[in-house]
């Protein structure tokens, strides 16, 4: 059984602090071509800003207004642990229409993020394995 820890993004994890501005959040999303920014304080997850949250906040603010991440971040974030079964994490994502699940350790420290892209990448590998098995079966006699 695969776990979240085996699929999550951890090495290229991009985060934001509560005092960084929405302009900085937008820049990080654009530079790293991502849609989710965990917000951290001393390494611990305190919120999440998505591309959709950012668009909504920008549309509601007067031009040129600097707003901190803490003003628009979602504070009640559903999280999982690295040892959470992938099946359970996928069910959470599907049931609640989450685009990602931050992954936290026992003390609430952010250790990774599981995104839709991670799940699709995993599915791609499974499909490739199934295709290889199917091709190999055709040659067995």
The domains found in the chain, sorted by start residue, are: 4-139 (3.10.580.10)
**pLDDT at residue 136, rounded to an integer:** 67
| 3-state helix/strand/coil string of 39-77 | EEECCEEEEEEEHHHHHHHHHHCCCCCCCEHHHHCECCC
Asked if 50 and 36 count as a contact pair (C-beta separation under 8 A), the reply is yes
Instruction: Indicate whether 139 pLDDT > 80.
Output: no
| pTM of the predicted structure, to 2 decimals | 0.85
Interatomic CA distance for residues 112 and 61, integer angstroms: 31
Instruction: Indicate whether 77 pLDDT > 60.
Output: yes
Interatomic CA distance for residues 10 and 110, integer angstroms: 9
Q: Give the pLDDT confidence of 32-62 residue by residue, as tens digits.
A: 999 999 999 999 999 999 999 888 887 887 7
**pLDDT at residue 126, rounded to an integer:** 86
Q: How confident is the model at residue 140 (pLDDT cuts 50, 70, 90)?
A: low
Distances (CA, A) of 106 to 82, 93, 101: 10, 21, 16
Average pLDDT over residues 66-71: 85
Average pLDDT over residues 112-141: 83
**pLDDT at residue 61, rounded to an integer:** 75
**pLDDT at residue 141, rounded to an integer:** 56
Instruction: Indicate whether 18 pLDDT > 70.
Output: yes
Instruction: Indicate whether 133 pLDDT > 90.
Output: no
């Amino acid at each position: 059984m695969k776990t979240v820890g085996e699929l999550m993004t951890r090495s290229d994890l991009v985060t934001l602090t509560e005092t960084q501005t929405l302009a900085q959040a937008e820049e990080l999303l654009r530079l790293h071509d991502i849609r989710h920014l965990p917000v951290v304080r001393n390494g611990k997850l305190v919120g999440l800003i998505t591309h959709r949250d950012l668009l909504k906040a920008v549309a509601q603010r007067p031009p040129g207004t600097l707003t901190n991440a803490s003003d628009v971040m979602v504070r009640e974030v559903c999280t999982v642990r690295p040892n959470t079964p992938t099946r359970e994490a996928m069910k959470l994502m599907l049931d609640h229409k989450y685009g990602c699940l931050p992954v936290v350790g026992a003390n609430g420290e952010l250790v990774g993020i599981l995104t839709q892209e991670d799940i699709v990448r995993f599915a791609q590998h499974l499909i490739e394995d199934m295709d290889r098995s199917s091709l190999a079966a055709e040659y067995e006699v």
